Amino acid sequence: MVYMVFTGISTVFLVRGFFGPPMLNDEDEAFAMIDKLVSAHGVKPTKFYLVPPMDIDLAPGLEYFAPDAKLVLASPLRAKRFPGSTCSRT
């Protein structure tokens, strides 16, 4: 019985030690960055541009983190860019 308790407890610590920090996929990383942006003081994003060929379903995450924001599946036009904003393509 002591052996069962010991292996039950040590298995949890071994598995946590082996895998280390959690691995994030592209969607998790994108949602973390959106959360950080929405949580920043003085920032209220209204549009998120998803530049092709990026293929991530951001709609459910935007409904949670920024329900008023729109998702646009195209590169922003130069005339629509705001000063200080960034875009992956120019």
Instruction: State pLDDT tens for residues 10-51.
Output: 887 777 666 666 666 778 888 888 888 888 888 788 888 888
Distance CA 65, CA 39 (A): 9
In the chain, the percentage of residues whose pLDDT exceeds 70 is 76
- Domain that residue 66 falls in: 24-75
If one counts the domains in the chain, the total is 1
Q: Is residue 17 part of a domain?
A: no
The token pair that represents 90 in the structure block:
């120019």
Q: Is residue 19 part of a domain?
A: no
What pTM, to 2 d.p., does this model score? 0.53
Distance CA 62, CA 34 (A): 8
